[in-house]
Structure 1
Amino acid sequence: MRRSFTLAFVVAATFGSVAFLPVNPLRPSLEKVFERINQEVMQHGQAYETLADASTRIGHRLTGSPNGAKAEEYAFNLLRSYGFKDVRYDSFEVESWMRDTCTLSIVPNKSDNYRDVRVVSLAHSPVDAHVRGEIIDVGNGLEGDFAALKDQIKGKIALVNIGLSNPTKGARNLHRSEKTALAIQHGAKGVIMVNLVPGNVLLTGTASVTGKLIPVPAVCISYESGQALRKWMTEEQNDHLNAQIDMTNASRKIKARNVVATLPGSKYPNEKIVIGGHLDSWDLATGAIDNGIGSFSVMDIARTFKALKLKPARTIEFVLFMGEEQGLLGSRAMVEAYKKANKLDQVRYVLNLDMTNNPVGFNAFGREEIIPLLKTVGEAIQKTDTGFANTLTNQAGLHSDHQPFMIEGVPIIGMNGNLAREVLDCYHANCDRINLVDKAQLTNTVRYSAMLLYALADASDIPTRRFDDTRTRDYLIAQGLRTPLQIANEWRWKE
């Protein structure tokens, strides 16, 4: 995941009340279906077991690696075993990046008093980089931080926090790739990211907003190393510190594959609901949380629909995306394929499970008109399980596989979940393993998401359509997403 904790699904409409397909002997009531889903998942759910099995058999699931290919095959075969005849690989070409060697040394100016610092390279740093330069501390690395130092950054190595130290109310963090992009725009020759999680945790991830190689090396150091480095910078204030970054990486074109299982709609087969989660992970651990809990939930939701022989009105595509960690590559490829076939309008909803865990409600993703529908669906879920809180939020976000759909006007709805602090501290780190996964909470993700999926797929009417280009622009501006999209060079509108 490219750290975004609002997870996605679509809709938009003017709902005063929710209209579902009429009840008849062949179509049980919504609450009855929810009860069947609940019973099936509670008694026969396999998300935890299959995730644990894949973690043991495969390990990490880095796109472009042999492990990544094994993960694609594992998902394909698992979906076939659940009874899906229409399971396919959607291949796409991707620039595959893999780390090799990386060292970081710190030395005062005109000195040979080198100190080596534990470090990990960030994707998509150059395949070969050897740079030395003065360190300049840009703090949290927000636009204002760079602007304040705009005449001092060129030719130096930017020291930047991955998160926000002492965050102030209303402050919105930028993704590490956006901070790297700002550093490059200001002429930095390298970037050192400081993880703010105590415990000598090194974090990986992409520092590229495009999924392509960046022109300067970007690395991550631990919180403790960052503290020590900043202390040393203060001590050496009259004799500035230099950083020397040496790294080699591998980058080559490969073919990766999204895995897609299709459940045809019984009444509106050309209207599609996409439910997906990224199957790939970084290579420091097995990616149990990011994004094992999401992708294996998607597969168990698919299993549940097949086990119950559910046949909702609209077609559902269960998608396991690859390449999310390296720049939303699989979801971008899927959107481009839909556009090329002139079928993007057929996608009525997108539900993206990325680090979704133990949902307590829904996110309308900036679409006010969907809130009555979500509230009604939540109330129906509460009749099955009074523990479901049915909390509602209404804020769009970026950096996961819903994004390529959203910036093309497709509406998004999210599941609001939560993860314990100690679990989040292992984000993109070498501690993201199966021991972090809470089986009961994973089961909640499967059953609540399956209920929402069925309700939306089987609604008798969806007055919402994909936004046109002008309304999409206005929507993104209203959601405060113009600036990060501009930094990422994804803002296609001329002001």
Structure 2
Amino acid sequence: MKKSHYVFLILVLLSSTAAYQPIQEDDEDLIETFQQINEEVLANSRAYETLGEACKVIGHRLTGSLNGKKAEEYAYTLLKNYGIKDVKYQPFHVEAWSRDTVTLAVAPRKSDNFYDIEVVSLAMTPVEAKVTAEIVDVGNGLEPDFQAVKDKLQGRIALVNIGLLAPFKGVRNLHRSEKTALATEYGAVGVIFVNTVKGNVLLTGTASVTGSLIGIPAVCISLESGTHIREWMKEQPNLMGVIDMKNFSKMIKARNVIATIKGSHSKYRDEKIVIGGHLDSWDLATGALDNGIGSFSILDIARTFQALDLKPKRTIEFVMFMGEEEGLLGSKAMIEKSRRNNSLDKIAYMFNLDMANNANGFNASGRNEMVPLLTKFGEYIQKVSPEYKNIVTNQAGLHSDHQSFMLEGIPTTNPNGGIAPEALGCYHANCDDFNLVKKNEMINTVRYTAMMLYAMANVDKIPAKKLDFYSTKDFFIKQNLKKELELGREWRWGQDD
């Protein structure tokens, strides 16, 4: 998951030329349902409590681990206990990865006085690797940064920032897996990522763009350690690094958990809205923010629909994806299964809740035609809850489960909101625990997303339609996402396009 996509968005779209499609049912009826949702969630929400319990009794939710299996069973049982009859597992096979040992030592060339640095392995790194090589500073690790040192990097270890540190202007960061792919392309034999959060915070996450093991070791050190190494390199330009790691990897079976509320109207029943978020997490902490707040909010939205006996016109699938952190594996598996059983065309829309927190609007994800509808429904929400800010944005991004749907031309949205900076620094880190979660902010996500989901499931016509193969290509080019998809080996339209 890409942290920058979930920082509070401030761009408010005040107008659009896209035609608004009026809802079929009376506005007052919709607002009345919004009021029922609001009252139910404020009185009976269990999102915060169930997440707290899961963090306590399960811990982390790493795909392929015993904890991951417990998380799948916890979500399944919870949905059943809420009274939803149609709950199922969707199994898929995945190359599971888990860490064993890793060390990083640094010393000047021709010196035995090595300095050990606290380090953590990135996921999908080799089962065993030991690399000794000179360290080359690649700065922020964007392609121009690699180009600047291309003659120095072959056979060496790249030192790369996870985030963007000054100087930079108006550039889009790359995912750590994309930076690792670039490092490999330019001949590096290892990567040392520098976290950009203060406080000696160690970060993990996948270094693979494909979901499979990569060929070189990739590790992460703290901002403070990175600063120390860079200062040392000024004095000793030929600083050497030794990365020594062992990990585990094997093919296992993981399971998405899917709860379905069947559409009530014969005209719309075959149109499906998917609301999903990844249940899995990394193993350095309990994954309360990433993505406990998103997945457990979805579980509570499902509870709310069941408690109120809401009967949406369209079918809704509430999905707990596994394997997102290792390469969107659960959402890719769902898309592939839908393709095989000829139900892919039935998915009309996708809501993705990944680190969704304190919702105050929705993102149209690059589909201009959705802006008026999201704005209009937001105005209805404001009639029930005046503190709702109705911040509607229109920015497409990658690196979460919505990407799997976008690649099929399916329109997507995610709640706009925010996480306090001091908590956001624990993204993928050893401090992502339940104490960072705020109950009222989870409640806001549940009630406002439930309202928007219900409205979308009942609108006469969803303005954004599924794009065909070449229209999807044009969409990604227009959104300036072609290069990222190429680095992630997800560009499907040929190198000459």
TM-score normalised according to structure 2 size: 0.96
Paired with 1:458 and 1:339, the residues of 2 have a C-alpha distance of 25
Counterpart amino acid of residue 124 in structure 2: H
Paired with 2:53 and 2:460, the residues of 1 have a C-alpha distance of 39
Aligned pairs (5 A) from 1:386-465: 386-465=386-465
Gaps of 5+ in 1: 8-12
What do the CA deviations read for 1:308-351 (whole angstroms, capped 9, x no partner)?
00001000000000000010000010011111222211111100
Aligned residue for 2:10? none
Aligned partner (choices 2, 9, 16) of residue 19 of structure 2: 16
Residues 155 and 188 in structure 2, CA contact (< 8 A), matched pair in contact too: yes
Structure 1 residue 464 displacement after superposition: 3.6
Aligned residue for 2:374? 374
Aligned partner (choices 234, 256, 259) of residue 258 of structure 1: 256
Aligned residue for 2:468? 468
SS of the residue corresponding to residue 85 of structure 1 reads coil
Structure 1 residue 89 displacement after superposition: 0.3
Paired with 2:448 and 2:387, the residues of 1 have a C-alpha distance of 11
Aligned residue for 2:165? 165
SS of the residue corresponding to residue 253 of structure 1 reads strand
Paired with 2:239 and 2:167, the residues of 1 have a C-alpha distance of 27
Q: Does 1:125 align with 2:125?
A: yes
Counterpart amino acid of residue 259 in structure 2: A
Structure 1 residue 19 displacement after superposition: 2.3
Aligned pairs (5 A) from 1:222-301: 222-237=222-237, 240-267=238-265, 268-301=268-301
SS of the residue corresponding to residue 455 of structure 2 reads helix
SS of the residue corresponding to residue 159 of structure 1 reads strand
Counterpart amino acid of residue 475 in structure 2: Y
Counterpart amino acid of residue 112 in structure 1: D
Q: Which moved more, 1:165-174 or 1:44-53?
A: 165-174
Residues 139 and 160 in structure 2, CA contact (< 8 A), matched pair in contact too: yes
Aligned residue for 1:153? 153
Distance 1:341 1:6, change over 3 A: farther
Paired with 1:198 and 1:463, the residues of 2 have a C-alpha distance of 44
Paired with 1:465 and 1:14, the residues of 2 have a C-alpha distance of 17
Residues 6 and 414 in structure 1, CA contact (< 8 A), matched pair in contact too: no
Q: Does 1:333 align with 2:336?
A: no
**Cα-Cα RMSD:** 1.4
What do the CA deviations read for 1:198-247 (whole angstroms, capped 9, x no partner)?
1111001111111100000000000110011011111112xx11100100
Residues 261 and 317 in structure 1, CA contact (< 8 A), matched pair in contact too: yes
SS of the residue corresponding to residue 462 of structure 1 reads coil
Aligned residue for 1:365? 365
Structure 1 residue 55 displacement after superposition: 0.6
Gaps of 5+ in 2: 8-15
What do the CA deviations read for 1:151-192 (whole angstroms, capped 9, x no partner)?
111100000000000153311100000000000000100000
Counterpart amino acid of residue 324 in structure 1: E
Residues 4 and 400 in structure 1, CA contact (< 8 A), matched pair in contact too: no
Greater relative contact order structure (CA < 8 Å, 6+ sep): 1
Residues 89 and 256 in structure 2, CA contact (< 8 A), matched pair in contact too: yes
Distance 1:4 1:302, change over 3 A: farther
Aligned residue for 2:12? none
Counterpart amino acid of residue 266 in structure 1: S
Structure 1 residue 17 displacement after superposition: 3.2
Aligned pairs (5 A) from 1:58-73: 58-73=58-73
Paired with 1:463 and 1:113, the residues of 2 have a C-alpha distance of 65
SS of the residue corresponding to residue 207 of structure 2 reads coil
Counterpart amino acid of residue 301 in structure 1: I
State the identity %. 60
Counterpart amino acid of residue 229 in structure 2: L
Q: Does 1:35 align with 2:35?
A: yes
Paired with 1:163 and 1:63, the residues of 2 have a C-alpha distance of 25
Structure 1 residue 360 displacement after superposition: 1.6
Aligned pairs (5 A) from 1:150-229: 150-166=150-166, 168-229=168-229
SS of the residue corresponding to residue 150 of structure 2 reads coil
Counterpart amino acid of residue 309 in structure 1: D
Structure 1 residue 150 displacement after superposition: 1.2
Residues 5 and 356 in structure 1, CA contact (< 8 A), matched pair in contact too: no
Counterpart amino acid of residue 418 in structure 1: G
Counterpart amino acid of residue 490 in structure 1: E
Residues 369 and 464 in structure 2, CA contact (< 8 A), matched pair in contact too: no
Paired with 2:145 and 2:168, the residues of 1 have a C-alpha distance of 14
Counterpart amino acid of residue 255 in structure 2: R
Counterpart amino acid of residue 233 in structure 2: M
Structure 1 residue 20 displacement after superposition: 2.1
Counterpart amino acid of residue 19 in structure 1: P
Structure 1 residue 379 displacement after superposition: 0.2
Counterpart amino acid of residue 112 in structure 2: D
Structure 1 residue 21 displacement after superposition: 2.9
Residues 370 and 464 in structure 2, CA contact (< 8 A), matched pair in contact too: no
Structure 1 residue 28 displacement after superposition: 7.1
Distance 1:260 1:136, change over 3 A: same
Counterpart amino acid of residue 326 in structure 1: E
Structure 1 residue 22 displacement after superposition: 2.7
TM-score normalised according to structure 1 size: 0.96
Residues 133 and 240 in structure 2, CA contact (< 8 A), matched pair in contact too: yes
Q: Does 1:116 align with 2:116?
A: yes
Q: Does 1:46 align with 2:46?
A: yes
Paired with 1:197 and 1:54, the residues of 2 have a C-alpha distance of 27
Residues 121 and 218 in structure 1, CA contact (< 8 A), matched pair in contact too: yes
Residues 21 and 463 in structure 2, CA contact (< 8 A), matched pair in contact too: no
> Structure 1 segments of 4 or more deviating over 4 A?
none
Residues 82 and 306 in structure 1, CA contact (< 8 A), matched pair in contact too: yes
SS of the residue corresponding to residue 53 of structure 2 reads helix
Structure 1 residue 16 displacement after superposition: 2.8
Structure 1 residue 382 displacement after superposition: 0.3
Aligned residue for 1:91? 91
Aligned residue for 1:10? none
Paired with 1:4 and 1:276, the residues of 2 have a C-alpha distance of 19
Aligned residue for 1:319? 319
How many pairs are equivalent? Answer: 485
